[in-house]
Structure 1
């Protein structure tokens, strides 16, 4: 083993656990205790803070340093970092440019086997629906498999489970032309052209169980309007354009500071010392009225009349429910 290879292996071991006895490091690397000590000094000279630990055997611990030294990642960690960097645009901070630079830096130094996987992971990150479902973890290999099919333009066949899985409702076989992976509020979706339905669809990745690829290729389609993020955002809003189909406004008997953290993609402005005008949208008048009701405070409807009617309908429904 060359000195460089030995140092990289030593560094990789130090990153996997907090404390390493010197004798165990020597055993893992098949070198002497003296060589371990010498290699530890080399790493320290390169900027790594490696502390000596006390005990019967004596050992070492990789500590945080004053500067960020070179890091080692395994294959799964590289893919995880790439996904995180591509979805950094929706966390509410100005990270687009530094995230893109970091992704470029990682790509330049990775081996070709990982570069091919990374190049397949083209992800669209959107804000998603306010109050949507909670994030659900999906297998990393499933994301990579879908991304590879998208890159290679290979027809996908998969079983798509129903939302509520029961024994009498089987999964449906779907055949699609995969287009993009979408991340919205921590949930993963596959944007694809559904061949049987002759239309665009968003599939929840957690409900997908891939079958063997057919090997058939397809010409790439363009989404309507040409902007993938706009198109996906519109689909989440139940519209063909990136706007809610129903818009309305109310005056809440709450100060604006109590309203702002919970307005989603709505807008708020002061209407007095303890009152706030909130404008928002939804896919139906009933859902819009219900979304205003979550503030649990007296309110006044500004408009339109459809919103006032929706409040009346909800009031009758809730009264019936309460007395049932």
Structure 2
């Protein structure tokens, strides 16, 4: 059994990881009785953590935001600095920090008192980053709201603009946020269309509205990142290709982002790339500029186009000599 001090830390971590817990669930996670859970919750409250309790059937515990910061090794100005830094990292150019920053921001803003939230929002509103990362911008509040909804199994409603600019209202069950080098995607189950969909976050208009809680469904794939990559790099296009590239998967992945192709490693010096394009010509140019030797397996029309293009380029090169 976990010792009391360590157990309090684990209880706090559990309350921060999800919006709502029943007493039975917490007792099972901590390997203690529900009575001990109630005592530990009272200890957290005595330390300043705003733990709310709802009695009866369907009741449970929830960590709320207080009038003051709970005991943390952070002063007010430090907490504001951390929150602003996390907002910047969530949409910034530093690879690998984006998803962790959104999760951390969601946890921190959950317990920030209102006076500090206002400071964070004010700083975000007047701050400008010099330079352009080359991709679309995102609202950190919207990202945090989506992260919370994924974590807490809360339905979302939002207005969405498609690739063609068509506007629509969507009601979804959100499950995961996936980040590439320049874009965020929301993997969700579309309740109106009754199927899994991948939404580009920068095409979501305004801050999503939360609805009721839902019972999570099994995910459409064990590897969510690969599933989203397939959706945005291949399935979204009219023309799709499967190609063996004569280079290691690690090297090819440095040339292709998750939205340009899905990569399957083969031997140490080869890999399979699944990609797509709006036209066969665009696919041919995309593959040719990868800079590697490759073999096209499908579609047959692309193979014919590449042969014709190679002959044309060969004639052009011969005439220029």
Q: TM-score range by the shorter chain?
A: 0.3 to 0.5
